[in-house]
Amino acid sequence: MNAIISASRLASDLGEGTPPVLLDVRWQLSVARAAGEPPFDGRAEYEAGHIPGAVFVDLDRELASAAGPRGRHPLPDVAEFGAAMRRAGVSSGTPVVVYDGGQGWAAARAWWLLRWTGHPNVRVLDGGLPAWEGALDTSVPAPAEGDFEPQPGAVGLLDADGAAALARSGVLLDARAGERYRGEVEPIDRVGGHIPGAVSAPTNENVAADGRFLPAEELTARFKELGASGGADVGVYCGSGVSGAHEVLALAVAGIPAALYVGSWSEWSSDPERPVAVGPDPQ
């Protein structure tokens, strides 16, 4: 099954007998907002207009647990995540479509968590809300309780030691911007640089200017150049397991399974005992 869905196909599916459950996961990293600008409020954006029938999901509260030694967006408590998904109307036998404001990172985080906990049919709206050409709604739906029971482990998950090992034995992709990988700037974490052996693969190079993913064959070619081909084990990390999920989604579009290091650089760099590489080369 394709991991993404076009806006036109979504509109068609919503008109069928068993429409997908829609999750709106609008979120933005609050770093580097203009002085005096209020923090981004995804719920307010949702209430101002969303795809009809969509239920808002809060990334910071429902798709992650509190920031700490395991990173800025560590895995949520599995039972609490399952309860949040059931409140949103998610059932194991019903397809789910997730979207955000267009960047794709937050939607990918929800997609990955649902896939990791065993949901068999989850897709991300390609291009997010800006790709939707239909009417928007301001009413807040009250979906019937779903029956989804999370079963973790359906897709690959890495911890810090696993990421370090994969950087030596397979392919570990760093989804952050190149300047953060090289250690030239670090706006958030304790130190800049990358996990030794990781390959720079900014996730924004997987999409076109409109936020839609590049065609699958172009993504396959890109990842092949980065070493992710020929059966090699592949893993991804980013700053805190959000944009990295978007890279895992791009790899899925290209037909390449990949594990996600959820703690990512925010966990790795918090421990001064872990090695840090700088510059353009993996080592």
Q: ∠ CA 250-113-19 to the nearest 5 degrees?
A: 85
The residues pairing with 124 across neighbouring beta strands, listed in sequence order, are 4, 98
Beta carbons of 137 and 153 less than 8 angstroms apart: no
One of 124, 129, 238, 256 is an active-site residue; which one? 238
Three-state DSSP at 155 gives coil
Distance of alpha carbon 65 from alpha carbon 279, whole angstroms: 32
**Which token pair is 52?**
């009809």
Three-state DSSP at 9 gives helix
Q: Is 238 an annotated catalytic residue?
A: yes
CA quadruple 9, 14, 19, 20: dihedral, nearest 10: 60
Q: What backbone phi and psi angles, to 5 degrees, belong to 215?
A: -55, 150
Beta carbons of 33 and 39 less than 8 angstroms apart: yes
How does DSSP classify residue 52?
Answer: T
Q: Is 243 exposed, middle or buried (0-12, 13-18, 19+ CB in 10 A)?
A: buried
How does DSSP classify residue 269?
Answer: T
Catalytic machinery residues:
238
